[in-house]
């Protein structure tokens, strides 16, 4: 395929920070030792911190237990289903050090959804947060899971505080559900047994012998926003490459001793685990995990206890904080780096955030099938609003039309991506893989994009989200930007629905900031800023937009609602 748009920055094997994720963790631990690595702050406001050395010691114990006590073999799969706790990085890094494969399970999944992932990934061991103890039997039925271990929000907290906080959290939740299936133990029991193995000579580094960049590391399941969740096979090379690409992109970015990164994005999402956690470890940045970020008032003690300087997030998080009185009245004073991904950053949100905090939001673009990051904003200049930056080092992009030919510069078409971060394929699904990755390695993203004359990439919309009104292409993000600029609108999402006259019609779902806001008010506002065929034909006021755990609006659910209403009418 000719005419690829290059980012102009090369990426070679010499830029790789390590050959294996377990090796990368060891490098971070050796470099930063007793510095604080990760803290977890609970809804009660209590927090505890692990050093880099703690992370290294505990993850080694997990690795030794899995290989020596359980007898797992290279390539076996271990599932983690847990919010952002201290247990998560310890387990994930331990599994990887053991030469095993991690599959991250969304803790908000229903038993049926969990069961699908456990079956599809062929997981043999499952670590699950204890609040879902009553779902274990249904979740493991028909799977290859041999052992289940329960986790707690207070795992790795000190003894007495752990006991008191555990009691308080149970009281708040009225009780941890009674388990209806036997479990093999807890994280504490795993660490104790694993540490004994190490004391008796277990060699953790030997577990990765024979593993290379092509060895599978993570089975990361897509969010299911476009259908049944599929497992992306991510290799050690994919993940280390993407972290290394991000690090090379950030070369020259000023790092400061005492940087604290607040991680609200869930660690079971590969962006948070790889770029949020591992890349921060490499740079020596202290990560503050937030296991229960909703309601957003739970974030107030995070800003009060920690001098947050770096913050990855999504549009809905930034927009939500701008509507919190406590945040607006006392914004963080030392915030200097903010990042946005997973969904388009609305310009109105970015402008309000920067005016309040003084910190730019640097937008990027990525997808699970591309490990994490495809493009991001350069840090040596103000962000170019309406774009998601330039391709990161070693990444190629193309924009093609329906006929497969390359589109002229500035014209929208499907975005294709090629680089070392592109997944091997979908697990157990060669047909879906062949429809997504071309024979010469191009990932067909399904996103509609344009590239400008400076090489900046803009995501116009998902191909499946585009609405065709009387033959005209309508991109929901254009309309959503107009709607959210209306100061009486809190949030908005736009989808298409069948229409007898125009083929499809635009339907807007709106969360009101002003409860007196009417359909007429909205239509009037849209007519001032949009051409006629883009003005929503239907306005639906709802209390809350459906969202994924990372804050991405689930347009599929709204589309289903709009289609049902259109058929009913």
Most confident of 7-11, 51-55, 113-117: 51-55
> Which helix (H) or strand (E) element contains residue 180?
none
Residues 402 and 473 in one domain: no
Residues 478 and 508 in one domain: yes
Residues 524 and 437 in one domain: no
Residues 455 and 479 in one domain: no
pLDDT confidence of 177, banded at 50, 70, 90?
Answer: very low
In the chain, the number of structural domains is: 2
Residues 495 and 507 in one domain: yes
Q: What is the pLDDT of residue 74?
A: 96
Q: Is the peptide bond before 196 cis (omega within 30 degrees of 0)?
A: no
What DSSP assignment string belongs to 377-437? --SSS---TTS--EEPTT-EEEEE-TTSPBPPTT--EEEEEESTTS-SEETT-HHHHHHHB
Q: Could you say which of 418, 433, 462 is where a domain stops?
A: 462
Return all residues near 69 (Cβ < 8 A) that are at least 6 apart.
Answer: 193, 194, 197
Report yes or no on 415 lying in a domain.
Answer: yes
pLDDT in tens, 428-476: 999 999 999 999 999 999 888 999 999 999 988 766 777 878 766 677 8
pLDDT confidence of 62, banded at 50, 70, 90?
Answer: very high
In the predicted model, what is the mean pLDDT of the chain?
A: 88
Greater pLDDT, 269 or 321: 321
pLDDT confidence of 178, banded at 50, 70, 90?
Answer: very low
Report yes or no on 334 lying in a domain.
Answer: no
Q: What is the pLDDT of residue 403?
A: 84
Residues 437 and 470 in one domain: no
Greater pLDDT, 523 or 11: 523
Percent of the chain past pLDDT 70, that is, above it, reads 91
What does the pLDDT average to over 162-182?
50
Round to whole Å and give the CA distance between 309 and 315: 18
pLDDT in tens, 463-518: 677 787 876 667 787 788 889 889 999 999 999 998 877 778 999 999 999 999 99
Query: What CATH number did the domain enclosing 455 receive?
Result: 2.30.38.10
Q: What is the pLDDT of residue 250?
A: 74
Judged by average pLDDT, the poorest of 59-63, 163-167, 375-379 is 163-167
Q: Which two tokens stand for residue 289?
A: 């995990």
Q: Which two tokens stand for residue 551?
A: 């804050």
Report yes or no on 376 lying in a domain.
Answer: no
Report yes or no on 458 lying in a domain.
Answer: yes
> Which helix (H) or strand (E) element contains residue 108?
none
pLDDT confidence of 110, banded at 50, 70, 90?
Answer: confident
Q: What is the pLDDT of residue 4?
A: 46
pLDDT confidence of 11, banded at 50, 70, 90?
Answer: confident
pLDDT exceeds cutoff 50 at 226: no
What does the pLDDT average to over 149-153?
93
Q: What is the pLDDT of residue 271?
A: 83
Greater pLDDT, 434 or 569: 434
Residues 453 and 472 in one domain: no
Round to whole Å and give the CA distance between 376 and 362: 7
Q: What is the pLDDT of residue 225?
A: 41
Residues 435 and 526 in one domain: no
Greater pLDDT, 6 or 42: 42
pLDDT confidence of 170, banded at 50, 70, 90?
Answer: low
Q: What is the pLDDT of residue 108?
A: 80
Q: Which two tokens stand for residue 473?
A: 């292409």
Q: What is the pLDDT of residue 193?
A: 97
Q: Is 374 left (phi over 0), alpha (psi -120 to 50) or beta?
A: alpha
Burial readout 495-532 (b: 16 or more C-beta within 10 A, e: otherwise): bbbebeebebbbbbbbebeeeebeeebbeebbeeebee
Q: What is the pTM of this model?
A: 0.82
pLDDT exceeds cutoff 80 at 343: no
> Which helix (H) or strand (E) element contains residue 54?
helix 52-64
Residue showing tokens 């500035």: 410
Residues 488 and 474 in one domain: yes
Report yes or no on 59 lying in a domain.
Answer: no
Q: What is the pLDDT of residue 147?
A: 95
Query: What CATH number did the domain enclosing 562 receive?
Result: 3.30.300.30
Give the domain extent around 409.
5-9+397-462
Q: What is the pLDDT of residue 255?
A: 67
pLDDT confidence of 291, banded at 50, 70, 90?
Answer: very high
Closest by Cα among 136, 118, 139 to 179 = 136
Q: What is the pLDDT of residue 180?
A: 44
| Sheet containing 375-376: order of strands | 47-51, 36-41, 286-289, 260-263, 310-313, 337-340, 361-365, 375-376, 390-391
Residues 470 and 562 in one domain: yes
pLDDT exceeds cutoff 90 at 131: no
What does the pLDDT average to over 547-562?
83
Report yes or no on 68 lying in a domain.
Answer: no
Report yes or no on 536 lying in a domain.
Answer: yes
What does the pLDDT average to over 238-246?
93
What does the pLDDT average to over 199-207?
96
Q: What is the pLDDT of residue 498?
A: 87
Q: Could you say which of 462, 492, 507 is where a domain stops?
A: 462
Largest CA distance in the chain: 76
Report yes or no on 27 lying in a domain.
Answer: no
Q: Could you say which of 442, 462, 482 is where a domain stops?
A: 462
Chain centroid to Cα 315, Å, comes to 13
Round to whole Å and give the CA distance between 464 and 226: 8
Residues 526 and 478 in one domain: yes
pLDDT confidence of 328, banded at 50, 70, 90?
Answer: very high
pLDDT exceeds cutoff 90 at 2: no
Q: What is the pLDDT of residue 346?
A: 80
pLDDT exceeds cutoff 60 at 296: yes
pLDDT in tens, 95-108: 999 999 999 998 88
pLDDT exceeds cutoff 70 at 324: yes
Closest by Cα among 80, 44, 52 to 272 = 80
Q: Are 357 and 335 in contact (CB under 8 A)?
A: yes
């Amino acid at each position: 395929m000719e005419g690829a748009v290059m980012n102009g920055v090369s990426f070679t094997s010499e830029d790789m920070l390590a050959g294996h994720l377990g090796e990368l963790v060891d490098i971070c631990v050796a470099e930063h030792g007793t510095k604080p690595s990760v803290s977890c702050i609970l809804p009660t406001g209590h927090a505890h911190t692990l050093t880099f050395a703690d992370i290294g010691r505990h993850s080694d114990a997990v690795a030794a237990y899995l290989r020596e006590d359980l007898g797992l073999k290279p390539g076996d799969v271990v599932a983690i289903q847990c919010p952002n706790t201290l247990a998560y990085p310890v387990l994930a890094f331990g599994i990887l050090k053991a030469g095993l494969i991690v599959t991250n399970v969304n803790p908000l999944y229903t038993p049926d959804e969990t069961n699908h992932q456990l079956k599809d990934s062929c997981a043999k061991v499952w670590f699950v947060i204890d609040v879902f103890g009553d779902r274990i039997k249904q979740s493991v039925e028909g799977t290859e899971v041999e052992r289940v271990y329960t986790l707690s929000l207070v795992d790795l907290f000190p003894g007495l505080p752990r006991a008191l906080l555990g009691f308080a959290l149970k009281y708040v939740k009225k009780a941890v559900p009674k388990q209806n299936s036997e479990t093999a133990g807890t994280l504490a029991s795993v660490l104790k047994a694993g540490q004994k193995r190490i004391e008796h000579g277990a060699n953790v580094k030997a577990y990765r012998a024979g593993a290379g960049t092509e060895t599978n590391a993570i089975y990361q399941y897509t969010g299911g926003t476009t259908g049944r969740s599929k497992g992306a096979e991510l290799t050690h090379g994919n993940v280390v490459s993407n972290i290394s690409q991000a690090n090379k992109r950030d070369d020259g970015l000023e790092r400061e001793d005492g940087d604290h990164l607040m991680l609200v994005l869930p660690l079971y999402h590969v962006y948070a685990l790889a770029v949020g956690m591992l890349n921060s470890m490499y740079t020596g940045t202290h990560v503050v995990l937030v296991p229960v970020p909703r309601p957003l008032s739970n974030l107030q003690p995070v800003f009060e206890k920690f001098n947050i300087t770096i913050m990855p997030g999504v549009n809905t998080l930034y927009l939500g904080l701008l509507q919190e009185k406590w945040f607006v009245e006392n914004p963080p004073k030392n915030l200097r780096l903010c990042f946005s991904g997973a969904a388009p950053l609305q310009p109105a949100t970015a402008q309000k955030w920067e005016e309040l905090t003084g910190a730019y939001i640097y937008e990027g673009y990525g997808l699970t099938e591309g490990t994490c990051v495809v493009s991001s904003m350069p840090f040596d200049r103000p962000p170019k609003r309406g774009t998601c930056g330039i391709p990161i080092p070693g990444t190629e992009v193309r924009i093609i039309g329906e006929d497969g030919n390359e589109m002229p510069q500035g014209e929208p078409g499907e975005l294709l991506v090629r680089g070392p971060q592109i997944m091997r394929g979908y697990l157990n699904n060669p047909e879906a893989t062949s429809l997504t990755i071309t024979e010469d390695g191009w990932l067909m993203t399904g996103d509609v994009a344009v590239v400008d004359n400076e090489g900046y990439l803009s995501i116009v919309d998902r191909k499946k989200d585009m609405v065709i009104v009387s033959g005209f292409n309508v991109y929901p993000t254009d309309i959503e930007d107009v709607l959210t600029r209306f100061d009486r609108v809190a949030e908005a999402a736009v989808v298409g629905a069948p229409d007898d006259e125009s083929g499809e019609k635009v339907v807007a779902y709106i969360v009101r900031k002003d409860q007196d806001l009417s359909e007429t008010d909205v239509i009037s506002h849209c007519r001032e800023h949009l051409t006629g065929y883009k003005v929503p034909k239907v306005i639906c006021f709802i209390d809350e937009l459906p969202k994924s755990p990372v804050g991405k609006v689930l347009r599929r659910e709204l589309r289903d609602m709009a289609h049902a209403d259109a058929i009913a009418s």
